[in-house]
Amino acid sequence: MTKAELKNLIAAAAGRRKADLVIKNCKIVNVLSGEIYSGEVAIADGKIIGMGDAAYDGEKIFDAGGKFLAPGFIDGHIHIESSYISPEQLGRIIVPRGTTSIIADPHEIANVCGLDGLRYMLDAAQRTKLHVVFAMPSCVPATPFEDAGAVIEAADMKELLGDENFFGLGEFMNAPGIINCDEKVLDKILLAHNMGKLIDGHAPNLSGKNLNAYLSAGVGGDHECTTVEEMNERIAKGMYVLIREGSACHNLKTLIKGVNQKNSRRVLLCSDDCQPKTILEHGHMDKNVRMCVEEGIDPITAIQMATINAAESIGIYDRGFIGIGAHADLILLDDLKTFRVTDVWIGGEHVAHDGKYLPEIIPADISKVRGSVRVKNFSVDRLKMNLKSGKVNVIGIEPGGVVTKKILAEVQRDESGDFIFDAARDICKVAVIERHHMTGKVGLGLLGGYGIQRGAIAVSVAHDSHNIIAAGVSNEEIFCAVEALIKMEGGMVLVNGGKIISVIPLLIGGLMSDLSGEELKEKLDALHAKAHAELGISASVEPVMTLTFMSLPVIPELKLTARGLFDYSAFDFIPLEA
């Protein structure tokens, strides 16, 4: 800010010149004082310069009609890539819902495209009015047991981590690396500390001394709590806890029972992974705030968890509240029950009205993040198992989340030891095919609880290294789906009887579509319908997102990577045979 700009700002606040915008006749939701009062808010140069009952004149006047004016919602932790749409298109559908800022960890595209992927995300984020604060992906790859498209070490991080758009290191999934003082892990931790940057966490099942060791490295928050007991321990030890409610994980109704007036300022809301279907049909942060109120939380407390708490957790002190000098990110609400958003301002600019995003979108160039599917020596024979026994370890899907259980089961084998699918049993073959460096690696496993009865599904989204993951009833069906996916440079494919019945290309790193949120939702709805109706996948299972998390080895209990079956408890690979 120049001295002339500062003088103009002060003059507007003093009433010596007109404000750029005055929002009159509103009920101001003050998350700082915990009050709601009638008045107006004046804005100049994108900042709030007046509020309350002081009368201001403005170049533009907006009559709020007595509605509630609140700070814009902030998603405390999200992976844009998991929406399957670009940052520009995500902004277009969540801003009208009242989300004005997101704290985004782009570790999905970083695992595919490395620093080029991060630069693409920065460019794309500048093309949306949504305020995007990035975390530097801390674990690329997520563990030493995966084959990602890139490796990002401490030395690689330094340049981008110094960018003002990065608040610090993203969720540190390699908790054992911290606890056991892995040298390369400590290099990243020290880099963040020495640059004055924060560190986000990822600590499922950690407690006691292991949690203490993890926190002693300076980790500040965690979105992996699944019980009130876990939440209470983390808050008591100094962490922020992020209550997650998105498309894949649903922890809000469980954890909100532990939120009270004494601890609520250390709690924030996030979606983590959220698809257009969820956003367009149910909402984004507006939905999560509404759920909190439905569960008995005071509306102002709920709004705090979706605004100022999130901002303060990453050291941002000019957003997330309505106060003098704050960035003018504001939303107008019909009431504090439904949280229907009618109007949105970001930096004082009117960017959404009655569910419509107002600015024009000019998409970023995707040329450096295309062509990311590269597979070598893949054939139908690579899908054959050589089971020495019919007693096997099976990845068991748990409803409502991404945690799996380790199941022991008896399965049929053919004369060569390959798995034989039995339609009467809910166990199918699952494969992960390396798609970044043409290593030819194929990991094979068995998946229970998916419900598939016919055909196969293949997806180039497979958290967190994002190789190809496929599940099906036979080697031939799986091969057909994977081959089609390779030819279209990544995406989602359904096959039945050797015929392709549904496809969705994901050209941006094999993770995101260049379609709008509405277009992607329509295609995804159709694919889901066919997955249930024609392939027989269980109605209680989300066919795509569920499958994409079956390769995430940093989440308990049993997962599959391109290197084989991984047991989180042992933190090592185990054989298929039990």
What is the tens place of the pLDDT at every residue in 86-107? 999 999 999 999 999 999 999 9
From residue 201, how far is each of 78, 221, 222, 228, 429 by CA, in Å?
Answer: 13, 5, 5, 18, 33
Which domains are present in the chain?
A: 72-321 (3.20.20.140), 370-574 (no CATH)
Query: Average pLDDT, stretch 175-201?
Result: 96
Half-sphere exposure of 303 (CA within 13 A, CB side): 30
Reading across the β-sheet that carries 564-567, which strands appear in turn? Answer: 558-561, 564-567, 572-574
* Nearest Cα residue to 459 out of 556, 527, 520, 398: 527
Q: Does residue 68 register a pLDDT over 70?
A: yes
Q: Which two tokens stand for residue 277?
A: 């279907």
Strands (E), 163-322: 166-172, 198-201, 221-222, 240-244, 267-270
Q: Per residue in 216-260, pLDDT tens?
A: 999 999 999 999 999 999 999 999 999 999 987 899 999 999 999
Give the tens place of pLDDT for each residue, 14-56. Answer: 999 999 999 999 999 999 999 999 999 999 999 999 999 889 9
Taking the model in full, what pTM does it have? 0.94
| Residue 99 token pair | 């989300």
% helix, strand, coil for the chain, step of 5? 30, 30, 40
Compute the mean pLDDT over every residue in the chain, rounded to the nearest whole number.
Answer: 96
3-state SS, residue 249: coil
Question: Which of 157, 216, 206, 150 shows the shortest CA–CA distance to 181?
Answer: 216
Q: What is the pLDDT of residues 320-351, one digit of tens each?
A: 999 999 999 999 999 999 999 999 999 999 99
CB 255 within 8 Å of CB 228: yes
Cα 142 from Cα 561, distance rounded (Å): 12
C-alpha 522/C-alpha 511 separation (Å) is 17
Tokens encoding 58: 């403005």
CA distance 314 to 156: 22
Q: Which two tokens stand for residue 395?
A: 């990845």
**Residue ranges with strand state E in 474-520:** 491-496, 499-505
479 close to 492: Cβ distance less than 8 angstroms: no
